[in-house]
């Protein structure tokens, strides 16, 4: 729905995400610890024996306006300088600014098709390539793509839709007390922005610490075969195309487990992950409301779990008799 603070929520992520280490004077914000993730200039400097200066900075949330030109998105090359002096002077674009951060597109469904193609290429390769008059320049373009849209204003291209790992439907709140609380908080912020930030600082820091701790244990989180079979069953029962949904459910389940301080994926992680990973991949009939009923996934999980348990019990019993 319109007016439900979608853009506000995305822009607020910058305050929650941990700082990252970058090459201090790099236009792209290269990772100083990974040569394979560096731009051409940083690689040349490193190969020449130079010690790259580093600093820490906040993770960026970079906005891509709907009307952006290709040059603004991918950056530009000074062709005259390149031809005369052989110097590839690169002026960074939005993709360079968003490297190792978040790229946010409001009204993503209204993006020009050509810009969509540029985003798809960069997202697939993790690299942005600029080519002009036979001169080529490339730099890393690793980013998390977040888009917001109002479906009634037009659908998203299927190629781009499937690139979004997760999807959340935002609706207005119907509860009377909660609506009043929203207005009060808005008024409080308008009256004293710094005081409002101070009021919620401890809660914000607590959430940031939780995210940092989740990142630290994420690689240790395990997912059992039972949970993987459950994920596959959900995808099959809901008639989802391809296998990307299964992979996203697995990754999201592990992330949710880490966020909750666990090192093992549980059924509730899979259920929550399925709701976010599948609703934009479901085949919908005309005028059908987007999303999946919570009871639908819960029913599949309940049926799959009992069926799987019965299969394992029977199989084990037969094996014992032999």
* Residue 79's CATH number: 3.40.50.300
Q: What per-residue confidence (pLDDT) applies to 150?
A: 87
Residue 300 within any structural domain of the chain? yes
Mean pLDDT of 11-19: 90
Q: Domain boundary at 122, 141, 161, which?
A: 161
Both 154 and 247 in a single domain? no
pLDDT digits (tens, 9 = 90+) for 73-132: 999 887 776 566 666 678 899 999 999 999 999 999 999 989 998 988 888 889 999 887
Residue with tokens 């031809």: 83
Q: What per-residue confidence (pLDDT) applies to 154?
A: 84
Residue 58 within any structural domain of the chain? yes
Both 23 and 141 in a single domain? yes
Q: Which CATH number is 271's domain given?
A: 1.10.8.80
Both 146 and 33 in a single domain? yes
Both structure tokens of 29: 């914000």
Among 53, 145, 130, smallest CA distance to 99 is for 145
Both 153 and 231 in a single domain? no
Both 23 and 147 in a single domain? yes
Which residues form the domain of 245?
A: 220-321
Number of domains in the chain: 2
Q: What per-residue confidence (pLDDT) applies to 159?
A: 79
Q: Is 244 a catalytic residue?
A: yes
Residue 46 within any structural domain of the chain? yes
Both 243 and 156 in a single domain? no
Both 240 and 103 in a single domain? no
Q: Decide if 137 contacts 87 (C-beta within 8 A).
A: no
pLDDT at 258 over 90: yes
CA-to-CA separations, 223 to 97, 114, 218, in angstroms, rounded:
35, 39, 11
Out of 163, 244, 262, 308, which one is annotated catalytic? 244
Both 50 and 127 in a single domain? yes
Residue 110 within any structural domain of the chain? yes
Determine what percent of the chain is predicted with pLDDT higher than 70.
87
Residue 170 within any structural domain of the chain? no
Least confident of 87-101, 201-215, 235-249, 284-298: 284-298
Residue 166 within any structural domain of the chain? no
- Output the CA angle 254-258-262, nearest 5 degrees: 100
Both 112 and 231 in a single domain? no
pLDDT at 13 over 70: yes
State phi, psi for 300 to the nearest 5 degrees.
-65, -45
pTM, entire model: 0.84
Both 278 and 135 in a single domain? no
Angstrom distance (rounded) from CA 274 to CA 224: 16
pLDDT digits (tens, 9 = 90+) for 273-319: 999 999 888 766 545 555 566 567 777 777 765 555 554 444 444 55
């Amino acid at each position: 729905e319109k007016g439900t603070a979608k853009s506000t929520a995305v822009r607020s992520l910058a305050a929650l995400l941990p700082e990252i280490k970058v090459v201090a004077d790099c236009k792209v914000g290269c990772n100083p610890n990974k040569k394979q993730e560096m731009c051409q200039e940083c690689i040349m400097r490193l190969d020449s024996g130079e010690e790259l200066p580093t600093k820490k900075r906040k993770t960026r949330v970079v906005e891509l306006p709907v009307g952006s030109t290709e040059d603004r998105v991918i950056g530009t090359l000074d062709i005259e300088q390149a031809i005369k002096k052989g110097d590839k002077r690169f002026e960074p674009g939005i993709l360079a600014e968003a490297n190792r951060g978040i790229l946010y597109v409001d009204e993503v469904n209204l993006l020009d098709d050509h810009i969509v193609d540029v985003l798809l290429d960069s997202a697939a390769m993790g690299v942005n390539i600029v080519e002009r008059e036979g001169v080529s320049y490339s730099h890393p373009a690793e980013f998390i793509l977040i888009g917001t849209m109002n479906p009634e204003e037009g659908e998203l291209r299927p190629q781009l839709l499937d690139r979004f790992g997760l999807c959340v439907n935002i609706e207005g709140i119907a509860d009377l007390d909660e609506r009043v609380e929203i207005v009060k908080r808005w008024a409080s912020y308008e009256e004293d922005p710094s005081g409002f930030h101070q009021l919620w600082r401890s809660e914000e820091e607590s959430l940031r610490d939780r995210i940092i701790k989740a990142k630290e244990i994420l690689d240790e989180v395990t997912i059992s075969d039972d949970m993987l079979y459950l994920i596959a069953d959900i995808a099959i029962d809901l008639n989802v195309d391809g296998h990307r949904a299964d992979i996203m459910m697995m990754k999201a389940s592990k992330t949710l487990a880490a966020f909750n301080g666990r090192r093992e994926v549980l059924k509730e992680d899979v259920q929550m992950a399925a709701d976010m990973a599948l609703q934009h991949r479901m085949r919908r009939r005309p005028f059908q409301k987007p999303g999946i009923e919570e009871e639908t996934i819960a029913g599949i999980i309940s049926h799959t779990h009992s069926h799987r348990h019965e299969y394992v019990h029977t199989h084990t019993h037969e094996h014992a008799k032999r």
